[in-house]
Amino acid sequence: MSKLYCNYKNGIVFIIFLLLIFLVSFLLYAEQCLAQEQGKGWVSLQVEDELSADFYQVYKSLSSPEDFTLIGKLMTVFLKEKGKGYLITPLGKGVFKIRSRKTVRPGSKMFIQSMDRQGFNFKGDFILKKIFTFNTDAIIDVKYLIKGDRFKYLARISYNAPALVEGIDKTFRFFTGKNFVAYKMLNFVDRFHFVLKRLSEINLSEWEQIANDKENLSNLIFPVSFSEKEKDKIEKIIMGDGF
């Protein structure tokens, strides 16, 4: 009986070993394919939904490319409870480095093609990670619309989808019903809307507490500090002077 159990145990270990070899081989093959395949086709997804007027009042005051770094800081602060955050660093006029906690990896860049009160258009050169790391180009185009008494946004996500990225999408869609890359890009848009809506809900006292709590700001996913100019800008928005 003991000998039979040992043989059974050894068999299980051997199967696990074979599975690990298969997984490593697959990942190496996939990365090789990705290096050889440069995107030939593009995938697009369009989403339309309603927003609050409060969000738009804040957005109007933060609708300049110069505000993008501040927006990244606000997203990191207000997404703390969700375990999310974005590190956005300027590289030049309209060009920014961007990374998130897990998916958007260092080396990713965003290029602001346009950003005004009517919406924004970002082009991204993203390094994403899902099991392994891969590159994809993406365009995030968002328009804000007033339809009757309702305020809406129309988001169009387009991204480069070489064979391997398409394979990742199909696998992710099989389990979740969503395309991986589009889902992550829309996550950014949704979180952007959530954070600016959250900013519209706080009062001046709450903002001062947030902006001056150095211990909390230094312990976020990405440490944050606000300049006096940034603090003043947010204070004006909260008081209604920034609109």
Query: What is the reported pLDDT for 34?
Result: 47
With 50 as the cut, is the pLDDT of residue 5 above it? no
The encoded tokens of residue 183 equal 């889902």
With 60 as the cut, is the pLDDT of residue 118 above it? yes
pLDDT, tens only, 51-84: 988 898 899 999 999 999 999 999 999 999 999 9
Element (H, E) at 22: helix 2-36
Q: Residue 142 — very low, low, confident or very high, per pLDDT cuts 50/70/90?
A: very high
Angle at 133 between CA 131 and CA 134, to 5 degrees: 125
Q: How far apart are CA 172 and CA 149, in angstroms?
A: 37
Query: What is the reported pLDDT for 10?
Result: 60
Query: What is the reported pLDDT for 147?
Result: 76
Q: Residue 20 — very low, low, confident or very high, per pLDDT cuts 50/70/90?
A: low
- Give me the chain's average pLDDT, please: 85
With 80 as the cut, is the pLDDT of residue 193 above it? yes
Packed helices 68-78 and 228-239: angle between N→C axes, nearest 10 degrees = 70
